[in-house]
Chain A
């Protein structure tokens, strides 16, 4: 399975690029899913179709979906709170609800949910390719970094848990199986990693994270940057490449969208056009090894399968 991410600020043309790209893939015969994980959805606009939480067929070989991250977070927390209420009933006295309020606003919960969404789609075996229409750059970078960061923590917790189980094992060797009273029920505290639910969760989670991390940095995952040919964009693009590099994620291509291309420009925009040229030149010189392509500013906003395919075939590949 191949995955595609288009990174960029709001309004630069991420949605347009990912939608066009997905149409191109589908036309080349790959079963493709295009998924918007940006809370500010406009994938539906690009396809001129009503999209939502359910996967919708939009063209031959092509499905699309808009994920509601907030709903996902709420669903997670609700599910958790049910589980917790069950196991933590004795704690009701100490306002465990307060903890959920903290979790709701806890830093990283959105990134977490976004990552979960990515995980969910990547796990769908019926597609050959998944194209993600991502939220603005900062958020997306954090999401892409997440598996690695979470992995560090998870590995640390696994280590601590191992120590606990080893200590438990020592006591167990002398005193026999340890038991504890939890909510009036007697539970056996196993020292076996396979029987300790926390260890099991940690190990399973670690494996999922590893898979995701490897996937993000594999050559099956294509990350491209969508931006505009402006002086500021150069610096920003370099920064993005650098921070993604830290997570071993390679950038595939840079698209300079809404590029002014005209034979005899009026004086008013001559300066702008000189800036464009300068930026293109510097990008090519200063960011070696990454293709830089421009997409001209079109007369009409590209909407619908055909328009998107034109963008794909004329400018993206």
Chain B
């Protein structure tokens, strides 16, 4: 079954790559191999430089595949593995990959400008300030949600905590080797990989760093974020990013191998119920809330920023765009498929491993096996219960992953530690970069205060103040919010999908007004755009009325305010879209 799913997914993506993807390339983008790309027309050998398409695929994929494609599906499996998988396949096929591909290619046609810029060009200058406020809140949610997921995982697994701390040390050493010594590149790389493996093995054999107190872990993360974001990039961020790409590819190869050779039936329910309790323990209807849970892997707005901000400047040929933009998104779908497969096949084995604790916590394991609806009610609770100690969404993934690797004779705990390092390395990297970005966004945001009070502005714009503020705000949300990382995650994912809506509306406008595409191919862009917009809108309304009221009082105002801001932005976007759409019509007439 595992092999079947993984191979089927591969076949699915490959088939649609050559049919649907090629059709998009031919009829919507009308990619022309003879048209020079910005990598040539604006060449500066720095940002703009043509790259080999395989190399660019690697860069692009490493940029878009972070912790997102792991965390989202690992939360969503409470609906059952099948709905999660279907969204990762069809959401990806009909929305996510089109989104990534079109935002890349629109940017290519606009000299490598970002899709947000293109959106300003096509749909009227939208207020930069609102966009920045919105991005800022998103960053805070990311900080909070990621601190929550990592806290839940690391507090229950000294192995993973130890490995991820050691990995940080390894990254620092790697930075010294790469940038400060004359060691050949291959040698520093080999040493880096060995150190990474060393971190995993030490974590497995001698998990000497323990911190069962999750509040304490949050505090450590806050300190880590503030310090890490203050360091020069070469010291930790860059070398860790570099080693992360080995973990990513290594993880994918090992996991695929294990999944193909596992020959295991799925013991996780395929489908629990339409309104399983996924987000914050509330009944969460699969539609419209699935995009609030699975973002990366199916659809992520942040991809449009990577694709249009960096990748579009390096594309060597318009005909490489499909492989890089579209193909990388399918690759991410494969990654999420593997995550779901491992939980589908081994998640219940993990449950059985802690059967006594599950029973002690008052859940009926036998009933979970036979009664899918019951599973849907209590699944998330079991995964997130600190008494049972699975370690949240990342916990169920890493433990299932460990079980799956056991098929190819890797000790369960070692495999778990590997999976755990994989996930946590990305989470910790994201925390670092997010805080840097939040700091930057905050400095932009407080700019108007300068007019009111120079002194206050100077204090607020200070990088330490900005950095500490963002980290502590995130800390406040997760710690005071009662560890409700699923709610924060859903908030972040909602913001992410809204970003995707901006990109999709822009892409649709571009396809219609500039590319002058009509008929079925226009529908292939327009329908997903409207489905996405409607889904996200309804989901946000649902979130506002169902999730916000049950969150901790401290969170309610911030989260509620942010959701309202997103809703306003959403409506405003649609309004802009129709305005520019009609303008186009008038021009024609």
Contact = CB atoms under 8 A, between A and B. Distances in A.
Is there direct touching of A and B in the complex, by C-beta distance under 8 Å?
A: yes
Interface of A: 167, 169-170, 173-174, 179-181
Contacts of A174: 178-179, 185
Contacts of B44: 181
A64 B282 CA distance: 96
B234 interface: yes
Contacts of B182: 173
Contact of A170 (B45, B185, B234): B234
B376 to A, nearest CB: 50
Contact of B179 (A173, A179, A180, A181): A173
Given A170-B178, A170-B180, A181-B44, 13 more contacts: A167-B234, A169-B179, A170-B179, A170-B234, A173-B178, A173-B179, A173-B180, A173-B182, A174-B178, A174-B179, A174-B185, A179-B45, A180-B45
Interface residues of B, number: 9
B181 A173 contact: yes
Contacts of A167: 234
Nearest to B185: A174
Interface of B: 44-45, 178-182, 185, 234
Contacts of B178: 170, 173-174
A180 B357 CA distance: 63
A149 B98 CA distance: 59
B498 to A, nearest CB: 36
Nearest to A181: B45
Contacts of B185: 174
18 contacts: A167-B234, A169-B179, A170-B178, A170-B179, A170-B180, A170-B234, A173-B178, A173-B179, A173-B180, A173-B181, A173-B182, A174-B178, A174-B179, A174-B185, A179-B45, A180-B45, A181-B44, A181-B45
A29 B213 CA distance: 88
Contacts of B234: 167, 170
B48 to A, nearest CB: 11
Interface of A is mostly: helix
Nearest to B242: A174
B351 to A, nearest CB: 46
Contacts of B181: 173
A166 to B, nearest CB: 9
A179 B49 CA distance: 13
Nearest to A167: B234
A167 B232 CA distance: 10
A173 B175 CA distance: 11
A174 B180 CA distance: 10
Q: Which 4 A-B pairs have the closest CB atoms?
A: A170-B179, A173-B179, A170-B234, A174-B178
B326 to A, nearest CB: 29
A181 B42 CA distance: 13
A32 to B, nearest CB: 55
Contacts of A179: 45
A175 B234 CA distance: 14
A174 B182 CA distance: 9
Nearest to A176: B185
A170 B180 CA distance: 6
Nearest to B188: A174
A311 B185 CA distance: 77
A174 B176 CA distance: 12
B348 to A, nearest CB: 46
A179 B196 CA distance: 33
Contacts of A180: 45
Nearest to B175: A170
A174 B45 CA distance: 17
Nearest to B234: A170
Contacts of A181: 44-45
Contacts of A170: 178-180, 234
Contacts of B180: 170, 173
A179 B180 CA distance: 20
A79 B420 CA distance: 64
Nearest to A163: B232
A185 to B, nearest CB: 13
A173 B179 CA distance: 6
A200 B45 CA distance: 25
A181 B185 CA distance: 25
A173 B234 CA distance: 12
**Most chain A beta-carbon neighbours within 10 Å: one of B44, B179, B181, B182:** B179
Contacts of A169: 179
A79 to B, nearest CB: 30
**Most chain B beta-carbon neighbours within 10 Å: one of A173, A180, A181:** A173
A179 B179 CA distance: 18
B313 to A, nearest CB: 16
A180 B45 CA distance: 7
A180 B181 CA distance: 24
A173 B44 CA distance: 21
**Most chain B beta-carbon neighbours within 10 Å: one of A167, A170, A180, A181:** A170
Nearest to B183: A173
A181 B234 CA distance: 26
A169 B180 CA distance: 8
A179 B181 CA distance: 21
A175 B444 CA distance: 34
Nearest to B177: A173
A167 B178 CA distance: 12
Nearest to A175: B185
Nearest to A171: B179
A192 to B, nearest CB: 13
A260 B453 CA distance: 59
Nearest to B189: A174
A167 B179 CA distance: 9
A71 B178 CA distance: 53
A10 B213 CA distance: 80
A170 B179 CA distance: 4
A174 B234 CA distance: 12
Nearest to B238: A170
A155 to B, nearest CB: 21
A174 B238 CA distance: 12
A169 B45 CA distance: 17
A173 to B, nearest CB: 5
A49 B140 CA distance: 80
Nearest to A172: B179
**Most chain B beta-carbon neighbours within 10 Å: one of A169, A174, A179, A180:** A174
A167 B180 CA distance: 10
A7 B195 CA distance: 69
A179 B44 CA distance: 11
